[in-house]
Amino acid sequence: MLSGTTINQLQVDRLRPQDLLPHRPPMLLIDQLVDYIPGESILAETFIKPDTMFFQGHFPGEPILPGVVLVEMMFQACGIFGRLEALNAVEVSDVSENYRPKSGRAIKIDKMTFNKPVLPNDTVRIQAVFEHKMLNFSVFKARVDIDGRGIAAKGIVTVLINS
């Protein structure tokens, strides 16, 4: 799985969100990893399919992706960051194909703002920038950008990441 003691961009390109998160469709909300800077940040991307279940009732005739889904995307990006950090912390000889860090969970949302609606056929990029850690709690500045239309949402999220 790993060829060195840290994960490089080539390895990130080969990892899929489902390799790093316990989520599965329809709750796996991230399609691919775009970039990972160890100890600093994660960038992920998702295409918003027109037939996604969230559009069925929010709102018929004028579908808008619910803000809570954008926040969940942020939490999932943070979870991926935490798992990549955990993989970077173990020795290569300790890593097997079945290695999985323990799960984490969402803890807190601060200063969240929703700037623009996310619509069917939008591509969004989810960025989480690591701010600090206290015990197993990690704080991130996170945002969701809509390709070509600006910021959809931004705020501060705290996650519990068990390594």
Residues with catalytic annotation? 58
| Count of C-beta atoms within a 10 Å radius of residue 134 | 8
Q: Which helix (H) or strand (E) holds 53?
A: none
Provide the token pair at 49: 């399919």
- The widest CA-to-CA distance across the chain, in whole angstroms, is 54
How far, CA to CA in Å, does 121 sit from each of 55, 90, 94?
A: 12, 39, 42
- Helices first, then strands: H and E counts in the chain: 3, 6
